[in-house]
Amino acid sequence: MQKVNLVILIAVCFWAAGSSAVTDPDPDMLGIYFDMTADENCLTTGASIPFFAYLILTNPTSTTVSGYEFGLDLVVPAGMEGLLFRLADYTFGCGICMPPYVDPMGGDYIVGLASPRPTEPATILHVWQYMLLSVFPVEYYLHATFDPLIPGDLPIVQVEDDALMQVGLSTGGPDIPVATVNTDCVVAAEELSLSRIKALYR
């Protein structure tokens, strides 16, 4: 695992203090955010400026999380792949971890924590730090792993008594980005459904 820098450690300290503000009101939703309280899934940034992205489980119905698995894809304009760098990839208390450290554009993450972690309204599961060498759009997609423990196209978390549970995505589905950088902002699933309904009557 890459060496955790000082900024990551500071982020962990803030995370340990707890967080309460959550944009998505639905239970057991997974998203990627650029703040630790699950409010900002849209970021505008310049070149050569490191930034953090947080995988957050919002409004969990379980009291603990002991593991999770998900697929991650970062989509950028053709030819820009070499201008995106993942500077850090951090797991909280990793017991058995199989993240794709080599490819900054994503891959399958299968993580078993060394001990169960208590949940809160915005429970940070994973932290990345990225940097772009030029200004271009980035879209983040979450989905199931290539061979999920539960059939389907959604990520999975392991909760009390080692039970496995599929979780929803903050924007409604694996074909919709859960977070964006330097491009149009995505909206929560309920807002997206409402906008689609309105479009039918225009």
Mean of pLDDT values over 175-183: 97
CB distance 158 to 112 below 8 Å: yes
| H or E segment to which residue 110 belongs | strand 106-118
Under DSSP, the state recorded for 161 is G
Mean of pLDDT values over 121-136: 97
pLDDT grade for 17, boundaries at 50, 70 and 90: very low
Helix, coil or strand: residue 10: helix
Separation of alpha carbons 88 and 52, rounded Å: 9
pLDDT at 2 over 70: no
Burial of 143 (0-12, 13-18, 19+ CB in 10 A): buried
Separation of alpha carbons 116 and 47, rounded Å: 38
What proportion of the chain, given as a percentage, has pLDDT over 90?
70
The closest of 34, 38, 17 to 26, measured between CA atoms, is: 38
pLDDT at position 131: 98
Q: Which residues lie closer than 8 Å to 182 by C-beta, 6 or more apart?
A: 43, 44, 45, 132, 135, 136, 137, 138
pLDDT at position 192: 43
Q: Pull the structure tokens for residue 149.
A: 């423990």
* 65-116 pLDDT, tens digit each: 999 999 999 999 999 999 999 999 998 888 888 876 678 999 999 999 999 9
Burial of 105 (0-12, 13-18, 19+ CB in 10 A): middle
* 144-160 pLDDT, tens digit each: 999 999 999 999 999 99
Sequential DSSP letters for 63-90: SEEEEEEEEEEEE--TT-GGGEEEEEEE
Q: Can you tell me which residue has the tokens 């949940």?
A: 119
6-200 classified as CATH 3.30.420.40: no
pLDDT at 202 over 80: no
Separation of alpha carbons 60 and 35, rounded Å: 18
Mean of pLDDT values over 46-73: 97
Question: Higher confidence at residue 41 or residue 24?
Answer: 41
pLDDT at position 199: 39
Q: Pull the structure tokens for residue 75.
A: 């989509």
pLDDT at 201 over 70: no
Whole-model pTM?
A: 0.84
pLDDT at 162 over 70: yes
pLDDT grade for 188, boundaries at 50, 70 and 90: low
